[in-house]
A and B are shown apart, each in its own frame.
Chain A
């Protein structure tokens, strides 16, 4: 795909936080792109910088303390970073929209859901209240909320968790945006409801030809939905690859560790191996490769030098000194 066709293109995005005099690098040189109807999953533990990166793309980071230090975010070729706030605001909600993790806290408790959805039409489209309410009812039907028109005047706390997340999605999709960023959209929900919401997102993506950025810590959520996966660790990209390649031939020990720690249907049942240790404090990253203290493959070089992103196959890269070897090893093992 040519860059001109790309819906969303994020290049070299870096974000810093100023915390008590020190600066913490939350996102470091993040690059990914997204086409119409495509899904990119950004996978990482809490503190890996995935949500900060999403908020930087949306332009809703609190500045200060946060600051985008480098990079570019282009939507259909138009640069968003550096736009004055007034112009940037026109994109938000209209061309790029976002769904948050916990709809109970992400929806305003004192307004009815109808008011909150209508606000999109009223602010961005200058619609009258009556027309906006008709649109809002249609939207709520579209996300499959029963007796939608009647429930417009209910408050968020009167809905179940799954229904609230549907309302959140309806609100984000109100103006049919080009790109939808979903930040842990199912984490707060029951497993059965999670699957419903993921199916809803996927079908709406196809219907509206949207690009979907799916931010999650859960490999299970990503499977079957994502076209490409970006794995983040401690603010940097650890590995990125087409979804299938990442699952079958991970080139970074961290990705391999993540895969080994979840049960899989495509492998014989065996003991699950968790990754030892805890993610590092972003304010005090270990020298060299940030993953080396937890890495089973680590050698002296890992503590000394930060590995660059190495391309191991077309569209598949990993930030590991042994990426090529790892990628090769998997191939051999899978072939056995």
Chain B
């Protein structure tokens, strides 16, 4: 187990370095003036350009630039907006909203996804199975922003079951509809993974053994089949927690939730390039850290992979 952990940690290092280098190269080191690019079509005063060049160490050699940028990142420095406001400060008050939304969406896809998947998996080939497969395919096909506006229009405005926008109602009421929209894609994948895993594992030899041991159906399904079927589901859920934090851009934008995603959403409209780059880099790093944590937990769940 310790060897497995160590190996995963070591493997993560080049991925972290590579990903940040990639972002850095794409944003700051490509031909053309990054400052003008980040500013878009906004006129930027000469003094600001000079300050920004110094700020991003653009006059240093490339690898030095990257090194300084990384050291800054590790100290929580995500850069500054044109008006000199630190991006980290702009995001500071927004953590709670994004985290609450992501965790609510995650809980939603975990509970309902697994429940739907078990329901369909135990009835493979029957109506329940067809319904779940069809419904989840539809949810996967409809882009999340269409789903968001559709849900807001129907359940926030036409039939106001939920608040249509904002967090005035607090958690959980204010977060329910956006969380369902945000979690719908994950819910679909969780349901399908659970369904397929369960339906396949129910035909496995060890399930037949469990029945030959005289165990009840509840025990055969719940203990012997579900645990094996849930290994890919748990992997997906782990990866998805990171993706949900990042995917919140669209949902927070539509439902006007004051989280990190909404900041990115607004900054794109306002053409505040440095804010977008800083915030999204942060979201990517969160995604990577959560993935790594899941990988490490995975070793606990499936004893086979520890000895690979």
Contact = CB atoms under 8 A, between A and B. Distances in A.
A–B contact via C-beta, under 8 angstroms: yes
Interface of A: 55, 58, 60, 85, 89-94, 97-98, 100, 102, 105-110, 119-120, 123-124, 155, 157-158, 168, 171-172
Interface in B186-210: 204-206, 208-210
B159 interface: no
Interface string B288-307: 00000000000001111001
Contact of B213 (A110, A120, A155): A120
B307 A157 contact: yes
Q: How large is the interface on B (under 10, 10 to 19, 20 to 34, 35 or more residues)?
A: 20 to 34
19 contacts: A55-B208, A89-B214, A89-B215, A90-B214, A91-B214, A92-B212, A93-B212, A93-B214, A93-B215, A98-B209, A100-B208, A106-B206, A108-B209, A108-B224, A110-B227, A110-B231, A110-B302, A123-B216, A168-B209
A107 B210 CA distance: 9
Contacts of A158: 307
A123 B215 CA distance: 7
Nearest to A171: B213
Given A123-B219, A155-B303, A92 B204 contact: no
B212 A60 contact: yes
B211 interface: yes
A89 B216 contact: yes
Contacts of B204: 105
The binding surface of chain B is classed by DSSP as helix
B304 A60 contact: no
Contact of B210 (A58, A108, A155, A168): A108
Given A100-B209, A157-B307, A94 B214 contact: yes
Contacts of B302: 110
Given A110-B302, A110-B303, A155-B304, A105 B215 contact: no
A98 B228 contact: no
Interface string B224-245: 1001100100000000000000
Q: 7 shortest A-B CB distances, which residue pairs?
A: A93-B214, A92-B214, A105-B205, A108-B206, A93-B213, A98-B212, A106-B205
B202 to A, nearest CB: 9
A136 B205 CA distance: 22
